[in-house]
Structure 1
Amino acid sequence: MNEHSTPTTNPSRAVRLETFGGPEVLELQEIPAPQAGAGQIRVRVTAAGLNPMDWFMTSDAETGARFGFSLPIGFGTDYAGVVDQIGDGVTEFAVGDRVFGGALSRAIADFVVVEVAGTIAVGGQAHHTPDGIDDNTAAVLTIAGCTAAAALAVVDLGPGDTVLMGGAGGGVGVFAVQLARLAGARVIGTGSPTSADFLRSLGAEPVTYGDGLADRVRDLAPDGITAAIDLHGSETAQVARELGVADSRITTIAGQIDGITPANGANAVPGTLEEIARLVATNDLRVPIAAAFPVEQVRAAVELQAGRHVQGKVVIEL
C-alpha cells in the first residue's frame, strides 16, 4: 500500500461459511482486515445487496465446486462503500471515493479488497458511485443490473415489441421491466395476484403466473407477444413458445432450455453499470429496496430473499 492509505483496522468482521448449506450456516466472524496490494483498492463496505446466486452458489458442496469455492468462504457479491486504502500503481481511485461493485462471495464484510482491473468473478471490480445515489441503492445495482441488461440484449428489445417477462417483480425484474420500457417495449409481467400494483408501478401490465398463463396473455395481447424474458424458471419461456415466439427472442436466467440462449450478467457490454447508475441518479430508473437488515441479522435477510416473493431488493447494512 502507499502513503495515502489509512491505518489498518484490525480485526474486522465478515460473514463466512465453514460448511456449505442454507442461511443457518452463515456466521459473522472476526477476521484479520485484508490489505490492498499493487493494483488494488480496499473498500470500507457500508452496504451489501443480496441476490439469489449468493445462497445458490453456497447451498451445497457440489454447487460450490462448480464455482471453484473451497471452505471456509465468504458470502455475498454486491457491495457499496468508501475507498479507505489504495495499492501501488492505482490512479483511478483515491481514499475517500464512494464506490460500488461486485466481489464474488466475499462482499458482506467490513472490508473488501478489489482489483482495479478485475472482474466480479476474478479479483472483484469497483465503479465510482454517482452523486445522488445512496449506498443502499448502489449496493444492489451490480448483479441485477448487469443480468437485466444482458437479458434485454439477448432478445434485442425495441419500440413495437411486446415482451412477456416472468418473475417481473423480483430483484432482476425491477431493472428489466424499467429498461424494457425505456427501450420502448410494452411489458407484460408475471407475478402473484398480490404483486399486481407493484408491477404496475414499474411500468408492467400484470398477469398471474401458473396454469392458464397462455390464455391470460392472449387476452392481454390479442395481437401476440414478440419476445420473452424468463427471470424465474422456465414457465414463461415455454408459454412464449406456445404463443409462437421464436427461440431467438426468448431468454432465461435460471432455467436451461435446449435451443434458448440464457442470459448472463457477465456478458453485459462494457459501460452497462455506469449507464444504469446514471439512470438511477437522474431518476429515470427506480430501485425499490424491499428491506434492509443489520449484518447481525444476515440469516433472517437471506431467508427473506430466498423465499423469492420479495418485491424489490434486500440490503445488508454494515
Structure 2
Amino acid sequence: MLRGARVVATGSASSAAELRALGATPVTYGDGLVERVRAAAAATGPVTVAVDTVGTDEALDTSVALVADRTRVATIAGFARGAELGVRLLGSGPGADPGTQVRDAARAQLVELAGDGSIAVHVARTYPLESAADAHRDSRAGHAGGKLVLLP
C-alpha cells in the first residue's frame, strides 16, 4: 500500500492469488463488476482513481460509474470509448497524451522504489533481439503473466 493507496484490481478468478500477492484486492470481472468493486472498496471509501489498461467497454463504463471526477480516469487502451466518455487518454492512440511529462516525473521515483525493493517488475520471458517478432506475437496473444523483454 504505497503512499496510502488501496488498489482494487480486476481480473479473472485464476489471477486472484497473484493480484493479492501484489497487494491488491482482487475482483473478478464480468456482470455486476461495479457492485463488486464498490463492495471491495467500501472499507476505505469511494473509488477516487481508475486506470484502464484493457480498453473494454466494461472496464471504462465501470471506471466512470465509480469515479466522480472523469479527469481522474485514464485509459491506455480504449481510446475511442474513452474519448466518448471524456476520460484521459494516455499513450500513442488517437488524441492521446503521450505521457511524456508523467513518465519523466515518475522515472526517478520508480527506479528508487525498484532499487529498494518496494516494487518489483515481473519478467515473464526474455527474447534475443532477433526474436522481436516472436515477442510481439506473444504480447498480442495477451495474458503474458508479466513483462516481455527484448535483450540486445
- Residues 198 and 311 of structure 1 are in contact (CA less than 8 Å); yes or no, is this contact kept in structure 2? no
Distance 1:211 1:244 in 2: 18
Q: What residue in structure 1 maps to residue 34 of structure 2?
A: 214
The normalised TM-score by structure 1 is 0.40
One-letter amino acid of the structure 2 residue matched with residue 204 of structure 1: A
Q: Which of 38, 46, 54 is matched with 1:232 structurally?
A: 54
CA RMSD of aligned residues (A): 2.1
Task: Please tell me whether the aligned partners of residues 229 and 236 of structure 1 are also in contact (alpha carbons under 8 angstroms).
Answer: no
Shift of 1:224: 3.2
Gaps in structure 1 of 5+ consecutive residues = 1-180
User: 1:317 is matched by which residue type in structure 2?
Assistant: L
Q: Is 1:187 aligned to residue 7 of structure 2?
A: yes
Q: For the residues of structure 1 that align with 2:150 and 2:124, how far apart are their CA atoms?
A: 11
Q: The residue matched to 1:236 in structure 2 has which SS?
A: helix
Q: Does 1:249 align with 2:59?
A: no
Contact 1:229–1:250 (CA<8 Å) still a contact in 2?
yes
Three-state SS of the structure 2 residue aligned to 1:268 is helix
Q: Where is the helix percentage greater, Structure 1 or Structure 2?
A: 2
Q: Distance in 2 between matches of 1:271 and 1:228?
A: 20
User: Aligned pair 1:261/2:83, yes or no?
Assistant: no
**What is the aligned length?**
138
Cα deviation for residue 189 of structure 1 reads: 0.6
Q: Secondary structure at the match of 1:219?
A: helix
In the TM superposition, residue 244 of structure 1 has moved relative to its aligned partner by: 5.3
The one-letter amino acid of 2:14's match is: T
Query: Which residue number in structure 1 is paired with residue 94 of structure 2?
Result: none
Q: Give 1:160-175 correspondences, 5 Å limit.
A: none
Larger radius of gyration: 1
1:272–1:240 Cα change, 3 Å: closer
Kindly provide the CA deviation profile for residues 215-264 of structure 1, in whole angstroms up to 9, marking residues without a partner as x: 22133123432221111104323113223532122111121323212234
Deviation at 1:289, TM superposition (A): 0.4
| 1:302 positional shift | 1.6
Quote how far apart the aligned CAs of 1:271 are: 4.4
Q: Which has the higher strand share?
A: 1
Query: Quick one: higher RCO (CA 8 Å, sep 6+), 1 or 2?
Result: 1
CA-to-aligned-CA distance 1:276-304 (integer Å, 9 cap, x gap)? 11211111110110111223433322221
Q: Which residue of structure 2 lines up, in the alignment, with residue 311 of structure 1? A: 145
SS at match of 1:315: strand
Change (3 A) 1:244 1:292: closer
SS at match of 1:241: helix
CA contact (8 A) 2:50 2:67 kept: no
TM-score, with normalisation over the residues of structure 2?
A: 0.78
Q: Work out the percentage of aligned pairs sharing the same amino acid.
A: 36
* CA deviation profile, 1:11-50 (whole Å, cap 9, x unmatched): xxxxxxxxxxxxxxxxxxxxxxxxxxxxxxxxxxxxxxxx
Matches of 2:135 and 2:103, distance apart in 1: 31
In the alignment, the residues of structure 1 paired with residue 128 and residue 72 of structure 2 have an alpha-carbon distance, to the nearest angstrom, of: 41
